[in-house]
Chains A and B, each alone.
Chain A
């Protein structure tokens, strides 16, 4: 789509109406995963390994089976064999095979007439383990003495001679890196580490599964993508996708973590074994933290060359990431292209390895890989700016990517808004506020590709001229509102006259999940195409009524009009009039569009944060926080701001508090919200936002997608601000008070 097709002067786009599902969600009526029940339903509980790495020698279920009310117990022996590749990994993670691979790995599951009986029965299942040596840390997992967790995980990309725990290797680059370093005035190289963090959605995973002995089933589940649930459950259980109908509930947060399966096949397998009675399975918070996908932990070497005027001459990175006990789950493939995506640097070398460790199978987490990469690269850029006494925004403006730049990972950027975010940050009052003692300011930019993906949307015109839109992307933060705004804008009808429904797997073609910041972009693009199809049909109906050529009819303001004086003189025929008589003019009027959506526009952002560090305790307080990000077009600005603020808050948590803490026994020490501490209301200031709008030429209304970029800059921005406040540069997250205090003491020793 040409850029000049992007109109401005919208009637509805850019306004802030109440979200259609707001009433249900403030009254407790909205039905989330655990809120669904069926007659005759059983409750399930899962037995999990208390060991990081152990051979399962024997599982004795006899006592559990003897307990009154127990209807089914399953182990790996109840699942089909012969799976390969990622299907096998999913099955291995659903229920352990010969070995438990992490603390919390599911070993058996039970269904009973009540939740309490199921929990009692789970305690009666006796598992005999042979404890094996384990490894947790990313660097330790690839050291020569590390225990081999699973044989044969390395794919074709892994060079010879690496440890068997290394599962993937990626390398790419361009330009003469050595010549670039030689041309620099200073060349600096540092190592940075980030710990694993969890998405931390407040709603634990929950589902109700029902499956008969014929292998036909249904599932109600909280998920970002119910077609993914269908495909993965079908693979793990050896059934056909068409025989599993999956209906998504409302979703209580996901952030990438609900794009895959963890325990859903267990509910179906238990149901089948219990004679087809539906089974509800709800995780506890401890299970969520121990056994659902956190993000990867990372260890990253970065080398940069810079001239004294701030020109970056060359860059080189070597990232090491672990994504749990299964290959393919760390985001090295995203972290590398994100690392230098904000810059136009003549010579770059990227290299990364993935290694497996005795941790839960990682899942996507908001801009997977980009926050870690930004922590490494943006931190070193900041260190060099401070050393050369250069303004960090000016250095980014000088080296930053712009329209037509060849990106660090290959493609040429079309129309992007990084420079605009930097200019807006520079001009914002927050960047001018004088700092007091023990205060520091940090700046960082961030990037996410955004995503199109498989998308199928239907739209139906009602007899009263309203429109019903069926989409397959669960509404995780206001997408019903943004989709309704776009469809109403396109049809020329009131926002309230469009209802957007999230429909089950039987109602549409395959849809990818709400991931990659794609719901408003891709479902929106398809919904607009469907609306245009319906408009074309309504123009045909009007043309037939008027006895003129359909090309002589145009659509505006919710009605068909003769296109000009030559078309004839007819009063406008509204969508309501066309809808009322559609039965006699040719039947139902609808639109449908399905596509693997292209035309994605990347979203860049720049954050400015001020902190104050208490020199006595090492505690960091965020004083003020500014998010500037390019939305393309903000369809519903309030929910765009919400994405910016929420992403920043998660990044602040990652920077300051959150981490997976393991004991020497390989057990997770902080599997509760008390100890895995996400930011609470009293931790944060107001989060200021500036929405930059550089429309994406690849979307009818210029949408880019806004969900993910915001989590990326906070990690390096806060570390930079803490360095400014204390003089101590900390290169590993989180910046917990003890770590900051120790760094202040070291810095004082000089």
Chain B
């Protein structure tokens, strides 16, 4: 099958790759660009482990074709920390908000998108925003607390 030449920006870097028309953005990130921090838990948009932002919109990268990323700006977990960790990343470690850590990249990307829209969410707002990100290990308790603590710190710094 003829491949499609895709030009896009990932975590601020210009990238190009050849995608099979059937490949998802998740396939391209993981297998063409070696950005394996974004995970596949289901491939059907139910678990959120593959969460990334595309032009600022939170998406499941398993539900988007790689070719659709052409000309867009994609942000993944690998782009979240600068010289220092993002407050969410730091608070997730401090609060033990991860056990196996497999869902963690997707949850961090999703939580960052939430706090950009709503810097002071209620617990319920966090729970509904993250309802598309499955975690089987933690029961979500420490995740909610970590997001709240990061949000408070970010509000204080703003």
Q: Which residues of A contact B (CB under 8 A)?
A: 16, 18-19, 21-32, 34-35, 114-116, 199-204, 250-255, 282, 284-285, 476-478, 636, 638-639, 641-642, 645-646, 648-650, 672-674, 678-684, 686-687
Contact = CB atoms under 8 A, between A and B. Distances in A.
B47 A202 contact: yes
Given A252-B100, A649-B136, 17 more contacts: A22-B98, A23-B85, A26-B89, A27-B37, A27-B77, A28-B78, A35-B30, A199-B136, A202-B136, A203-B39, A203-B41, A203-B100, A250-B101, A252-B41, A282-B40, A476-B100, A642-B138
A674 B94 CA distance: 31
A19 B140 contact: no
18 contacts: A26-B92, A27-B81, A27-B85, A28-B76, A28-B78, A31-B36, A32-B36, A250-B101, A252-B103, A285-B44, A476-B100, A642-B142, A645-B138, A649-B136, A649-B139, A672-B44, A673-B46, A681-B143
A18 B22 CA distance: 41
Nearest to A30: B101
A595 B20 CA distance: 52
Given A26-B98, A26-B104, A678-B134, A285 B43 contact: yes
A646 B138 contact: yes
Interface in B119-140: 123-124, 126-128, 130-140
A684 B140 contact: yes
A253 B141 CA distance: 17
A29 B81 CA distance: 12
Contacts of B89: 26-27
Contact of A687 (B23, B36, B90, B139): B139
Interface string B2-29: 0000000000000000001011000100
Contact of B99 (A34, A114, A478, A648): A478
A202 B44 contact: no
Contacts of B98: 22, 25-26
Nearest to A253: B100
Main secondary structure, interface of B, reads loop
A123 B62 CA distance: 21
Contacts of B74: none
Interface string B85-115: 1000110111110111111110010000000
Contacts of B36: 28, 31-32, 34-35
Main secondary structure, interface of A, reads loop
Across chains A and B, which 4 residue pairs bring their CB atoms closest together, nearest first? A28-B37, A252-B102, A25-B101, A649-B139
Contact of A26 (B27, B43, B85): B85
A202 B102 contact: yes
Chain B interface category by residue count: 35 or more
A34 B26 CA distance: 13
A623 to B, nearest CB: 13
B65 interface: no
Residue of B77, B102, B134 with most chain A CB atoms under a 10 A cut-off: B102
A347 B152 CA distance: 57
Nearest to A29: B37
B138 to A, nearest CB: 5
B77 A16 contact: no
Residue of B89, B90, B134, B137 with most chain A CB atoms under a 10 A cut-off: B137
B96 A639 contact: yes
B128 to A, nearest CB: 5
Contacts of B102: 32, 201-203, 250, 252-253
A274 B139 CA distance: 43
A681 B130 contact: yes
Nearest to A22: B93
Nearest to A252: B102
Contact of B93 (A23, A201, A641, A642): A23
Residue of A199, A282, A681 with most chain B CB atoms under a 10 A cut-off: A681
Contact of A682 (B46, B47, B127): B127
Given A26-B89, A28-B76, A639-B99, A18 B108 contact: no
B22 to A, nearest CB: 6
